[in-house]
Structure 1
Amino acid sequence: MKAIILAGGYGTRLRPLTLTKPKPLVEFCNKPMVLYQIEALAQFGVTHVILAVSYLSDMLHREMEVEAKRLNIKMSISREKKPLGTASALALARQYLEVGDDPFFVLLSDVICEFPFDEMIKFHKEKNCEATIAVTKAEEPSKCGVVIYEKDTGIIGRFVEKPFEYVSNDVNAGFYIFSTSVLDRLQLQPTSIEKEMFPAMAVDRQLYAFELKGFCMDVGQPKDYLTGTSQYLDYIRRSNPDRLTRENGTDGNVLVDSTAKIGERCRIGPNVVIGPRVIIQDDVCLKNCTILGDSLIKSHSCIADCIIGWGCNIGQRVRVESTSVLGLDVSVQDELFIKGGVIYPHKTISESIYEPKTLI
């Protein structure tokens, strides 16, 4: 079987992290987010993965070629000169997708879940339809595209984009199965699977909903990235608790890379991820945050509800909170307060930020 991962966007919602690395390579719980998908596909039996890429595509290609060899799968690159839209990205990759008669998976690159591919493909074949959408429950459906479908049959009737009034909390989870007949609907011009193809399929009653169990998150923006981290760490606690750190100073679910170093009298957790070669000095407090690789958090600092980028240097007695996101190589001088700061790469911060603010 084949799968195509749509990874051609600029990742604007996750800036400043995506200014120096394509979003699919941004680590989520110490692994590039797209690698969760590729490993799950390979484990299911998919032998050919196509990456539809555009922005920083060479970096993505190099890293995923190494993973493809490790997983013993074929990796192909479909490169867009500029982002085309989800449907036209499929059209550009048609040469790979039309080989054979088997249905193929389509995934958006920033979705993290348990990926029940075996159950989903069985459902798709039983329904003998053109396409199956994985749907999940959303806490805030007004921010999403709501899927209205028959609960007994799974047939999708219509979509409601970001409804003002409650109609359902079933939303598109961001991955699909397509039969090869879908290729006849494609055009090599900017078009969207979700906004143009799916409504047409629903009219033809060729579109079905597969209900996901367990957690599912689009982690493509900071708030959802942090929420998804807490959900994924809880999943690890239930499925493979030995991966989590249970040391003095930790509280709740904490994931620490083996190369990281943590000082004395620290308070770490819950919902904390510490990346490779990170140094946490003494008396540091970390809560609901991710510290990406090669960063240094100096003594007596407190990081809460934030993402600290690669190679950052956080001074002593610094407090960073309120969904702040620091890009690559940001330095924060001693005794500063940062609230809701979005700080672009290679900046040195010498004054506190008391209100949400972007520093370019």
Structure 2
Amino acid sequence: MKALILVGGYGTRLRPLTLTKPKPLVEFCNKPMVLHQIEALAEVGVTHVILAVSYLSDMLQREMEVEAKRLGIKITISQETEPLGTAGPLALARDHLQVENEPFFVLNSDVICEFPFNDMIKFHKEHNCEGTIVFLLAGPLALARDHLQVENEPFFVLNSDVICEFPFNDMIKFHKEHNCEGTIVVTKVDEPSKYGVVVYEQNTGKIDRFVEKPREYVSNKINAGLYIFNPAILNRIELRPTSIEKEIFPAMASDKQLYAFELKGFWMDVGQPKDYLTGMGLYLNFARSSMPDRLSRDNGTVGNVLVDPTAKIGERCRIGPNVVIGPRVIIQDGVCLKNCTILADSLVKSHSWIANCIIGWRCNIGQWVRMENTSVLGLDVSVQDELFINGGIILPHKAISESVSEPKILI
């Protein structure tokens, strides 16, 4: 089985981190975002993953060659030379997706959830139509057409910044049961009026229509950025900028070829700093119940804390709750960290206090620094002693010598 992961965006919402590294390679809970999805796909038998990319593809190619060998799968880079919307990459990968005439997954690369792929497969097979939504995108599909059509089997499509439990086996089962063109994963939200919602039959999952930001309640389920499609969907998509949500999905629903698979458990689009931190907390809570051995139980940790084995933490620190510390990070004595992530090779000197922040790679935080309010530091930023950083977005290679009392971007 195959999967297409949509990583074509420039990651502007997650800058300054994405100024020096493509968003799919930005670490989320000590693992590149896209690797959460690729590993979950490999576990359910996906043997070929296509990445629809538009920038920094050389860096992504090098990293993925290593991971492909480790996982024993094939990873193909499908390059967009111009923006193709959310469906075009499917057409571009057509030859890869159509080979075995089986359903395929489509994912957004920045979505983190429990990834219910097995449930999706089961559900998609039950309705036996073109598509199932876990509630994307048409240009990348057209671009990947040659990859997706090779074996004429269903394929996954994923948004690259989604994090969840990835229930791929359940998705496959569901998709094969309905036997239509598509399965879309949908997730429940508290304020549906802020989103485009999906209206579908509760007993079967068959999608009736889509409603954009409804003023009155019609549904509280939204597109979660995970899909399985049969290769037949590629015949609906031309190699041009195309919105799968606005052009392709409504047509599939009208033809009764699209089904919704309800996601259980946590879900978050982690494509911007505030949501990244929220998603980190959800993921760590999930890890507490599903893989508790990964979390730290050392003295000084409070709540859910993930620490890379190569990191060093000093004495009399208070770490947590909801903290991730990356490889080779050094935390000196008396440091307090809450709801934050410290990326690889950074140094936090003694008695500093950091809350609700993302500290980029190779940063140097001085003594007695206070940092809060979703501050984000890019690569190789240094902050002098005794400064206050309040909501600062600091670009790579900056040396900060004055406090930032109000949220702003430091270029």
Range of TM-score over shorter length: over 0.9
Separation in 1 of the partners of 2:235 and 2:339? Answer: 46
Residue 136 of structure 1 aligns with which residue? 187
Q: Post-superposition shift, 1:350?
A: 1.4
2:235 maps to 1:184: yes
Identity %: 78
Residue 272 of structure 1 aligns with which residue? 323
Q: Post-superposition shift, 1:139?
A: 3.5
2:169 maps to 1:118: yes
2:362 maps to 1:311: yes
2:35 maps to 1:44: no
2:202 maps to 1:147: no
2:303 maps to 1:252: yes
Q: Which moved more, 1:34-43 or 1:348-357?
A: 348-357
- Call closer, same or farther: CA 1:225–1:139 in 2, change over 3 Å: farther
Please, which runs of 5 or more residues in structure 1 have no aligned partner? none
TM-score, normalized by length of structure 1? 0.97
1:214-269 C-alpha deviation (Å, 9 max, x unpaired): 11111111111111101110111101111100111110000000010101100110
CA RMSD, Structure 1 to Structure 2 (Å): 1.2
How many pairs align? 360
2:261 pairs, out of 197, 202, 210, with 210
Residue 29 of structure 1 aligns with which residue? 29
Partner AA of 1:76 in structure 2: T
Residue 108 of structure 2 aligns with which residue? none
TM-score, normalized by length of structure 2? 0.86
Separation in 1 of the partners of 2:378 and 2:215? Answer: 35
Q: Post-superposition shift, 1:12?
A: 0.6
Residue 210 of structure 2 aligns with which residue? 159
SS of match in other structure, 2:350:
coil
Please, which runs of 5 or more residues in structure 2 have no aligned partner? 89-139
Higher relative contact order (CA 8 A, sep 6+): 2
Residue 3 of structure 1 aligns with which residue? 3
Q: Post-superposition shift, 1:160?
A: 2.5
Separation in 1 of the partners of 2:402 and 2:216? Answer: 43
Partner AA of 1:327 in structure 2: G
- Call closer, same or farther: CA 1:321–1:111 in 2, change over 3 Å: same
Partner AA of 1:248 in structure 2: N
Separation in 1 of the partners of 2:297 and 2:211? Answer: 44
1:297 pairs, out of 348, 352, 371, with 348
Residue 91 of structure 2 aligns with which residue? none
Residue 323 of structure 1 aligns with which residue? 374
Residue 20 of structure 2 aligns with which residue? 20
Residue 94 of structure 1 aligns with which residue? 145
Residue 117 of structure 2 aligns with which residue? none
2:219 maps to 1:168: yes
Q: Post-superposition shift, 1:82?
A: 2.7
Q: Post-superposition shift, 1:166?
A: 4.2
Residue 54 of structure 1 aligns with which residue? 54
2:285 pairs, out of 221, 226, 234, with 234
Q: Post-superposition shift, 1:105?
A: 0.3
Separation in 1 of the partners of 2:17 and 2:149? Answer: 35
Q: Post-superposition shift, 1:272?
A: 0.2
Separation in 1 of the partners of 2:295 and 2:315? Answer: 19
Q: Which moved more, 1:132-141 or 1:10-19?
A: 132-141
SS of match in other structure, 2:296:
coil
Separation in 2 of the partners of 1:55 and 1:195? Answer: 25
- Call closer, same or farther: CA 1:140–1:315 in 2, change over 3 Å: farther
Q: Which moved more, 1:21-30 or 1:165-174?
A: 165-174
1:183-219 C-alpha deviation (Å, 9 max, x unpaired): 1001111012222211221222211100011111111
- Call closer, same or farther: CA 1:143–1:321 in 2, change over 3 Å: farther
Residue 332 of structure 1 aligns with which residue? 383
- Call closer, same or farther: CA 1:303–1:167 in 2, change over 3 Å: farther
Partner AA of 1:182 in structure 2: I
SS of match in other structure, 1:51:
strand
Q: Post-superposition shift, 1:312?
A: 0.7
SS of match in other structure, 1:110:
strand
SS of match in other structure, 1:119:
helix
Q: Which moved more, 1:150-159 or 1:135-144?
A: 135-144
